[in-house]
Each structure stands twice: as structure tokens, then as C-alpha cells.
Chain A
Amino acid sequence: DTGVSQDPRHKITKRGQNVTFRCDPISEHNRLYWYRQTLGQGPEFLTYFQNEAQLEKSRLLSDRFSAERPKGSFSTLEIQRTEQGDSAMYLCASSLVSGENEKLFFGSGTQLSVL
């Protein structure tokens, strides 16, 4: 499978614990995004990378959230001291930018439940 893969598919954790998610983009894609989605809402932007550089981070993202893409390939999203409000589907997407046209390919997401 050469699509975007995310791991794990599901994560259940207790409030206050740290969690880390991984995303493997399509290999030739240079841009990688993290979005969060809750039921009945569209995906909400969290952050994105151009190769290994983190170019933008949502103002809504608290200091408990951090993302890395150390070698410009896979990325990790860590949430420290999780809260119940962090429960959501975390979606990763990658793209190969060509001019103004950009097609995002999403992974299946990691469903986080904070108890």
C-alpha cells in the first residue's frame, strides 16, 4: 500500500497521560499536514511541514501539542497531559505541491479517546 499510513488506528488513554501518533506520508510528497476532526465538524488545521521544516502551526494549538518531521519523511504528533477535550480523530495528509494545485491525500486517521 503506497498511501498515507497512520499508527495507531485507535488510542484510548487516561486523562493526564502523554500520547504519540505516527504518520508515514506518500514517499515523494514534500508537504505533510496534521488535522483534527470531531463528529459533525470538518477537519481543523493543526500544523504542516514542508520537508522537515514546520512552516505553520494553528493558534488554537496549545503548548501540549508538538509535531516533528525529523528527516522530512515520517512525522509524529505528541500530545502531553491529555484532556478529555483532546478526544478526536487525528488526520494526517500529504501532498506534492505543483503551482496552486495541491491534492491532499489523507490517511485513515488515529481515533483518540481520553477517559
Chain B
Amino acid sequence: RKEVEQDPGPFNVPEGATVAFNCTYSNSASQSFFWYRQDCRKEPKLLMSVYSSGNEDGRFTAQLNRASQYISLLIRDSKLSDSATYLCVVRFTGGGNKLTFGTGTQLKVEL
């Protein structure tokens, strides 16, 4: 089983739709959580950190459920420019300091 798992998609949604991605992680002693965004043929870039109480940044909302070991990302009023791959990233306690990436979920927002 992979340490960080995501549904690869693609998720094809119309502009203006709300879309949610889930990510599960295997190590219950996990420390820090992030969502990165990667555009086609580009490098990953930090989208947002995920805090225990949940956090919001504009149209983006991140949630953490430690009991069920999953992280979610909600995108409201999706734009064409949101089309990208969204990578779930976890730092595990006792796993050194490396950040472990999921395989990513591809989002395509269409007219």
C-alpha cells in the first residue's frame, strides 16, 4: 500500500462547479499536510498547507480528518485556470523530514 494515495482522475467538471478531492495516508503518526498544484510540464507549487481545524483560502478549502487518515481539498466556483494536477503531500513523524507526495489528481475544468 502506498503511503499517500489519491484518485488519479481525471475529474472533468464544467466551469463554476464545485469539486472535491480526497487523499488518504497510511501512517497515523503523520505530522504535516499540504496540497501542491502542478500544471502540465511544470514544476509543483505549494497551493496551501492543511491545518487540523481546516482552513480556507479564497475558493479553496482544505480539511484534515486524523481519525480516518484523510485530507480533502474543495474547490468552489471552479475556473478554467484551475485545470491542473493536485498533489497531496504528507510529512510523517519518524520518517525524517522528507515530504511524501501522492500520485496526484488531475482536474480538467471545461466551458
Contacts and interface: CB of A to CB of B under 8 A. Distances in A.
Most-contacted residue by chain A among B4, B42, B46, B87 (CB, 10 A)? B46
A28 B100 CA distance: 24
Given A91-B43, A108-B43, A56 B98 contact: yes
Chain A residues touching B, range = 20 to 34
A42 B104 contact: yes
A101 B43 contact: no
Contacts of B81: none
B46 A104 contact: yes
Nearest to B2: A42
Contacts of A100: 31-32, 91
Interface in A71-97: 91, 97
Contacts of B103: 40-42
A10 interface: no
A37 to B, nearest CB: 9
Contacts of A35: 101
B87 A42 contact: yes
Nearest to B49: A101
A48 interface: yes
Given A40-B103, A42-B102, A102-B99, A107 B43 contact: yes
A103 B46 contact: yes
Contacts of B46: 103-104
A106 interface: yes
Given A42-B103, A55-B97, A106 B44 contact: yes
A106 B43 CA distance: 6
Interface string B1-44: 00010101000000000000000000000011000100000111
14 contacts: A33-B99, A41-B104, A42-B4, A42-B101, A43-B101, A48-B96, A50-B97, A56-B98, A91-B44, A101-B49, A102-B91, A104-B44, A106-B44, A109-B43
Instruction: Give the top 6 A-B pairs by smallest Cβ distance, nearest first.
Output: A42-B101, A106-B43, A56-B96, A45-B98, A43-B101, A42-B103
Interface of A: 31, 33, 35, 40-45, 48, 50, 55-56, 91, 97, 100-104, 106-109
